[in-house]
């Protein structure tokens, strides 16, 4: 362990965290109109409906795999009865499928963006840089997976990278553990930190504003304008009541003009 290791694995992670959090706060405060995916679905949707779910669901699976591998200690899985061989088999099989799916999805998105004229015209230099960073992170991850299978000299990441990652959150970075990891993991981690550092300044910010409230919002109820039921219709029990405070309801009653009765006349 030397000064370079201390800078890379002891100081740089916290710089990246501050850049990520500070950048997101700054972006939300000063560029809310730019906090968007800038969707190009109106220009082309045939290829997008395949590539976008493939990439997004694949990256979610990759994220879950990284969280399990980095957060859950090796002793916990062994105590649960999952051997090291079984764990690696599951991690490699599921991780490879998720990684390949993510790679195919992003390649399809890049090809679509390059070959579709209106989409390519709407592509900025920032978008191109974002795709390079994403593609590099995915390729680096797949490379570590391949090397961990065919290269016997590759060090187990659960004994190096995982302890280092967990030590960051208790403000006691285990620089020696990360320095002992294989070169492929060094490249993958450094590229991942670079990706998180530029995250707030790209379209990737939309990942922090996923419309999760859509899963819990009430149903949209459509009603006929006519009060009288149609012939053959069934009268259903009303399932909701209007929401409002008493002061608003009383103010509406005060401002509402009186309704005239049928057949009555108004006299000055």
Question: pLDDT band for position 268 (50/70/90)?
Answer: very low
pLDDT of residue 87: 83
How far, in Å, CA of 136 to CA of 156, rounded?
A: 22
> 61-66 long-range CB contacts below 8 Å, 24 or more apart?
61/94, 61/97, 61/98, 61/101, 61/102, 62/95, 62/98, 62/99, 62/102, 62/141, 65/91, 65/94, 65/95, 65/98
Residue 23: partners with Cβ closer than 8 Å, 6 or more residues away: 199, 200, 201
Q: Quick one: tokens of 114?
A: 């390059």
List the Cα angle 182/187/192 in 5-degree steps.
125
End-to-end C-alpha distance for the chain, whole angstroms: 98
Q: What is the average pLDDT across 215-222? A: 74
pLDDT of residue 239: 53
How far, in Å, CA of 23 to CA of 17, rounded?
A: 10
70-128 pLDDT, tens digit per residue, is 998 888 888 888 888 888 888 888 888 999 999 999 999 999 999 999 899 988 999 99
47-78 pLDDT, tens digit per residue, is 999 999 999 999 999 999 999 889 988 888 88
Extents of the domains making up the chain = 3-215
Binding site as annotated, residues = 56, 66, 188, 206
Kindly tell me the number of DSSP H helices and DSSP E strands found in the chain: 11, 0
Q: What is the average pLDDT across 9-33? A: 93
Pick the CATH number of 3-215 from 1.20.810.10, 1.20.950.20, 1.10.357.10, 3.30.70.100: 1.20.950.20
Binding site as annotated, residues for heme b = 56, 66, 188, 206
Q: What is the average pLDDT across 233-255? A: 56
pTM above the 0.85 mark?
Answer: no
Question: pLDDT band for position 207 (50/70/90)?
Answer: confident
Range ranked top by mean pLDDT from 88-97, 179-188, 234-243, 249-258: 179-188
């Amino acid at each position: 362990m030397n000064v370079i290791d201390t800078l890379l694995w002891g100081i740089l992670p916290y710089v990246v965290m501050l850049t990520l959090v500070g950048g997101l706060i700054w972006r939300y405060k000063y560029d809310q109109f730019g906090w968007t995916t800038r969707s190009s679905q109106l220009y082309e949707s045939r290829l997008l409906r395949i590539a976008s779910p493939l990439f997004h669901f694949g990256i979610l699976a990759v994220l879950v795999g990284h969280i399990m591998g980095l957060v859950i200690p090796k002793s916990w899985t062994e105590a649960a009865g999952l051997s090291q061989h079984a764990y690696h088999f599951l991690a490699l099989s599921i991780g490879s499928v998720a990684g390949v799916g993510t790679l195919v999805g992003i390649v399809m998105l890049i090809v679509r963006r390059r070959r579709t004229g209106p989409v390519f015209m709407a592509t900025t230099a920032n978008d191109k840089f974002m795709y390079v960073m994403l593609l590099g992170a995915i390729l680096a991850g797949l490379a570590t997976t391949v090397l961990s299978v065919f290269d016997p000299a590759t060090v187990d990441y659960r004994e190096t990278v995982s302890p280092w990652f967990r030590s960051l959150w208790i403000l006691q970075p285990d620089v020696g553990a990360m320095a002992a990891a294989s070169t492929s993991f060094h490249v993958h981690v450094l590229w991942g930190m670079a990706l998180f550092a530029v995250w707030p300044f790209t379209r990737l910010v939309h990942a922090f504003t996923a419309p999760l409230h859509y899963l819990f919002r009430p149903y949209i109820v459509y009603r006929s304008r006519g009060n009288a039921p149609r012939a053959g219709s069934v009268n259903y029990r009303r399932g909701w009541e209007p929401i409002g405070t008493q002061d608003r309801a009383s103010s509406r009653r005060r401002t509402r003009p009186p309704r005239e009765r049928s057949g009555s006349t108004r006299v000055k």
